[in-house]
Structure 1
Amino acid sequence: MAVSLPEPFVELISKSLPTPDYLEQFLEYCDKPLRRSIRINTLKITPDDFCQRMRSKGWHLEPIPWCDTGFWIERDDDTIALGNTIEHLGGLFYIQEASSMLPVSALFHLISPNDAPLILDAAAAPGSKTTQIAAILEHQGAIVANEFSASRIKGLYSNIQRCGIANVALTHYNADVFGRWLPEIFDGILLDAPCSGEGTLRKDPQAMNNWSVEHVKEIATLQLTLLDSALHALKPDGVVIYSTCTLNRLENEQVVELIQQRYPQAVEVVPLGTLFPDAQRALTTEGYLHVWPQVYDSEGFFVAAIKKKASLTIKPVHKKVRPLPFTKASPKQLQQISSYLKRQFGIVLQEHYVVMIRDNEYWLFPEAIYQLTGEIRFDRIGLKIAEQFKDQWRLTHEAAIHWAEQINKNTIELTLEQAARYYQGQDIKWPDSKAGGGEVLLSAQGVHLGLGKRLNGKIKNRLPRELVRDGVQFI
C-alpha cells in the first residue's frame, strides 16, 4: 500500500522539489524497504580484513561511495540478528544508515584528523557519528559527545565502550550552552540537529504521524539557536557541519540562510560537490547536499558545511563548575599502574592522555579534555582503567576492549559455543585454569570479548551485567 503523507507536508516540500517528477519518485521510494548498511570500526579491524571475514560467512557487501568504511549488506543467512553477531558485540562494526555517514565524511573532508582536533558532537546519541569520528581520529585529539536526553546517555556510552574508544567525554546539556560556556574552543563541530524526521519514513512509517507545519517551525527555531551556539563555540577557521534527517527547506536551507544573514562577515558556506564522485546528484545551488531517498536509495538527509571566517563576540557568563573528584597520578602511582598493565597484559600507556585517580580507581583522560575540566561539567571522561586493592589490581572491561588489539599476554581463545555462554553471563569450564587465578582477555575467532579470571578449573565471567545477552547464539 502506498505511503500516506499529510497534505500540508506534500504542499510544503513540493515548493522545493528539484523537478516535478520528484514527488512521484519520492512516494515510490518511501514504500521500498530500506537497504541495510553498516560501518566498519577501524579501531578494531581493517575494511579489507572485515570484508574477507564476512564474505566467508555469506555476507555480500557493496561500498557506500561517501564513506570508505561503510557498506550496504545482504546476508545468505539472516537467522541471527545483526546486533547479536559476535562481530557486532565485539565492536567490529556499527549498524548505521548509509546517509547518516555523510556528515562526518563532510567534516573530515574539510579538517584534518592528523591535527589531533577537538571535536564537539552536539547531539550525539545513540553514538553512530561519535564512533565514526573516533575511528577517523584513531585515538588522537578528543571528542565532547553531548546528549540532551538523559534516557539516551546510557546507550551512547554503551556504544562508545563497545567500539573501544577512550578519547571521548560525555556531557548532558541543551546544546545551546556551548557557545556561552566554551567560546571558540572547538576545531570542528557536528550539529546533527533535532528535526521532524521526514527522511526516515522508509525505516519508520510512523515518523509522520504527528507532523505539522507549526511543529516544523518550532523545530527550525530551535535549530537556529543551536547552530548559533555552535558557531560561537567554534574556533575561527573551524568548520560546523549542520545536518538533519528531514527534507523541508524550513529546517534545512532556511536555517543556514538565516545564520548567514545574522553573521554575513563571519560565516561562509563551503560547497560539498567534491565530497565524493557522485555528490553532484544531491548538490543544491547553494552548495548543500539535499539527499532525497530516491537519489542514492537511502534515507533522506541534509548536510551543510559552514566555515567560520572571523571571531564572534559573546557576553561572558558566570560559571560555577564543581571541581572534579579526581587528582592527577603521582610519578609513583603512574609507575605502579604502568607496571601492572605491562606485566599482566603487555599494555603500554599511550601519549596524549593523562592518568587520573579517584579513590582506588585509575582513569585515562584525553589531554585535550583534561584542559577543560574546570570549564564545564562532564558526566564521564575517557575511560576507567582499573581498580587497586592493596597490591591487587582489577582491569575494567572498557579498558580491556580499548587495549584489546595491543594485549599480548594472558589471552585465551574460546570456541563460538563458549563465547555465546560468556555473553550469556556464564562461567566457562577450563581445566588448565590455575588455582592461583589471574586476569585473562577472552577472544573467539579473533574477536575480543572481554575479561575473565582463571580460578579452580574454570574461567570466572567478568562481563559487566548490563552487557549480558540472554539466549545469544553464534554460528
Structure 2
Amino acid sequence: MDNKTYIPDDFIADVASYLPAHLTMDGFIASCRTGLRRAVRVNTLKMSLQEFEHQAAQLNWHIEPIPWCEQGYWLTRSAEEEANLPIGNTALHLSGCIYVQEASSMLPPMALATCLVPGEHVLDMAAAPGSKTSQLAALMDNQGVLIANELSSSRLKTLAATLKRMGVANCALSHFDGQVFGDYMYESFDHILLDAPCSGEGTVRKDPDALKNWSLASNLDIAEVQKTLIHSAFMALKPGGTLVYSTCTLTPVENQQICEHLLETFSEHVEIVPLNTLFPDANKAATAQGYLHVWPQLYDSEGFFIAKFKKTGSVEHLQQKTKKGQFPFSSGSKKDRQAFETSIKQQFGIKSLPGTLMSRDKELWLFPQHMETLQEKIKYSRIGIKVATTHKNGVKLEHEFATCLGHLATNNVFELDPAQAKAYFQGQDIRLDPPGPAQGEVVLTLCGAPVGLGKWQKAKIKNKLPRDLVLNGQLITWV
C-alpha cells in the first residue's frame, strides 16, 4: 500500500509487546505500507508446471518460484498489459490453469501435504473463496474425499464456481458453522485444515483499511470463536490424523493462545508437529514451539500463522449427534446410467469415470470415491459434480462434466484460439472455417485445459456456456 494505509497507535503498541527481538517496528510498519508482489499458483489438475513456465515465457511474464510451494510463483507483467488486461481475464486464468493466490496463504495446505495419502478423507473447515480448497484438491490429485465447508451463503456460491473452474471433482460442499463437525462427524477425517476466521491483521498490505476497526476486545471475541472451532476440528479428527490451524493475523491471542488451548484441553491425545523444516529458511519464521509465525518483512508477503498437530489417541465424546432426514440420492436406474455411459463413450471415448454415479430426480451426479462412509452424516449443499440431466431422449451433459472430466476425452475435443475463446466466454457461438468435422457435443479447451461444452453445427460450434458465467469486457487479447 502506501502511507495512506491505516495503522492505529493501539495496534502498534500491541504488536510491540510480542514482536520478535530480531525484528524492528520500523521494518514492520514499512512492510505494511508496501504493496504485495502478485503470486499465482499453477493448478496441476489442468496444467503441468513445465507447460506453465513455457506459456509464461511466451507471454513475456516474469516468474519467480515461491520456495514453500512447488506450484507457486511470484508473477510480474508489463505495465502495458496490466493496464489493458486484468489477470482474471487472461487465458491461463479463465481456463483454470492458474489461481491468483497470496504467497503465504499457500503455506497451510503445504503443511498438510507432507502427510497426504491417496484415498483419504480431508476437511477444509472454513473454505471460501476456494484458494486453499482447490490447492488441497490438486495436492490430492482429485482422489479421496475433500469436504469443503463455508458458513456464508454468498461465499459458498463463489466457492462452488471456483471449484468448477479449477476442475475439482472430489469435493463435497457443506454450509454450517464449523462447530457441527465434532458432534456429527466424530473422528471421521484423516486430515483437517482449519484456516480460521480471524481479525486479518496480516492482510493490511492488500487492504489499507484492514485495521480500521481493530481493537484488542475484538481480538478476544474472535479468539473465543476460534477455540470452539479448533475443539470441533480435533473431535472430528481420526486418531493418528493431522490438524493444521492457520490464520492471516499476527496476534498471539488468536494464534499461540489458541494452540495452547488445544494442548491443554487434549493434553494426553495431541502433539505438535514442528514446521521449522517445512521449506528452506522456514526457521526464520519458526517459534520455539515449532509453529510458523510469518511476519510481512520476513519473506515479503502477507502476515500468517500456521501450526500443525497430530492426534495421538481417541478422545471420548458422549454427545455425538446424528443427522435426521432421508438421503436424497440413490444409485438410480440402470437405464439412465447406461444412457449416460454410452453417450460419453461414443462421443468422447471415455470408458470409465473416477467415482460413483448417483441419481437425484433427473440429475446424474458423480460422487468422489470413498464418499459412502461420510455421505449421510451431515446434509450437503452438493456432493461431487453434476454430470448430466436425463430426459426421454437420452441425457444432457452439464458444464462441469467438461471442466472437471473433459481431460479424459479422446474424441470431439476442440482447442480454442484467443479470438474464439473471447467469443466463447462472451456467450457467442464459435465460427468455423472450414465446417466442423462431427456432430453432437464437443469439449472445448483453452491452453490445453477443458473449459466447457459446445455443440457441432456445420459452420459453427453452438455455445453452451451457462448464462451466469458469461463475461463482459476485455478478454484474452490486449492491445
1:103 and 2:108 are equivalent in the alignment: yes
Is the 2:61–2:76 Cα contact (8 Å) retained in structure 1? yes
1:112 and 2:107 are equivalent in the alignment: no
Which of residues 239, 242, 247 is equivalent to 1:244?
A: 247
1:161 and 2:164 are equivalent in the alignment: yes
Which of residues 67, 89, 108 is equivalent to 1:84?
A: 89
Matches of 2:251 and 2:153 in 1, distance apart?
28
Matches of 1:163 and 1:21 in 2, distance apart?
39
- Partner residue, 1:287: 290
Q: Per-residue CA shift, 1:46-102, capped at 9, x if unaligned?
A: 111111111110111111111100000101332211111111111001110000000
The one-letter amino acid of 1:467's match is L
Matches of 2:172 and 2:267 in 1, distance apart?
33
**Higher relative contact order, structure no. (Cα contacts within 8 Å, ≥ 6 residues apart):** 2
Structure 1: unaligned runs, 5 residues or longer: none
Is the 1:87–1:447 Cα contact (8 Å) retained in structure 2? no
Q: 1:320–1:105: structure 2 CA closer, same or farther, 3 Å change rule? A: closer
The one-letter amino acid of 1:26's match is F
Is the 1:143–1:167 Cα contact (8 Å) retained in structure 2? yes
Post-superposition offset of 1:432: 5.1
User: Aligned residue pairs: how many?
Assistant: 472
Task: Give the structure-1-normalised TM-score.
Answer: 0.96
Q: 1:21–1:107: structure 2 CA closer, same or farther, 3 Å change rule? A: closer
Q: 1:472–1:407: structure 2 CA closer, same or farther, 3 Å change rule? A: farther
The one-letter amino acid of 2:33's match is D
The one-letter amino acid of 1:377's match is K
The one-letter amino acid of 2:149's match is N
- Partner residue, 1:208: 211
Is the 1:113–1:136 Cα contact (8 Å) retained in structure 2? no
What are the equivalent positions in structure 2 for 1:13-412 lying under 5 Å apart?
13-19=15-21, 21-76=23-78, 77-78=81-82, 79-109=84-114, 111-114=115-118, 116-351=119-354, 353-412=355-414
Task: Give the structure-2-normalised TM-score.
Answer: 0.95
* Superposition misfits of 4+ residues, deviation over 6 angstroms: none
SS of match in other structure, 1:327: coil
Of 198-207 and 402-411, deviating more is 402-411
Matches of 2:392 and 2:284 in 1, distance apart?
63
SS of match in other structure, 1:276: coil
Matches of 1:348 and 1:200 in 2, distance apart?
47
SS of match in other structure, 1:190: strand
The one-letter amino acid of 1:242's match is Y
Matches of 1:43 and 1:434 in 2, distance apart?
28
Is the 1:180–1:315 Cα contact (8 Å) retained in structure 2? no
Is the 1:433–1:459 Cα contact (8 Å) retained in structure 2? no
Is the 1:321–1:375 Cα contact (8 Å) retained in structure 2? no
Q: 1:71–1:434: structure 2 CA closer, same or farther, 3 Å change rule? A: closer
Q: Sequence identity, in percent?
A: 45
The one-letter amino acid of 2:105's match is S
SS of match in other structure, 2:44: coil
Q: Per-residue CA shift, 1:344-390, capped at 9, x if unaligned?
A: 11123334x21001222211011332322221000000001112222
SS of match in other structure, 1:369: coil
Matches of 1:312 and 1:385 in 2, distance apart?
39
The one-letter amino acid of 1:8's match is D
SS of match in other structure, 1:224: helix
Post-superposition offset of 1:437: 4.5
Of 428-437 and 454-463, deviating more is 428-437
SS of match in other structure, 1:349: coil
Is the 1:121–1:143 Cα contact (8 Å) retained in structure 2? yes
Post-superposition offset of 1:393: 2.3
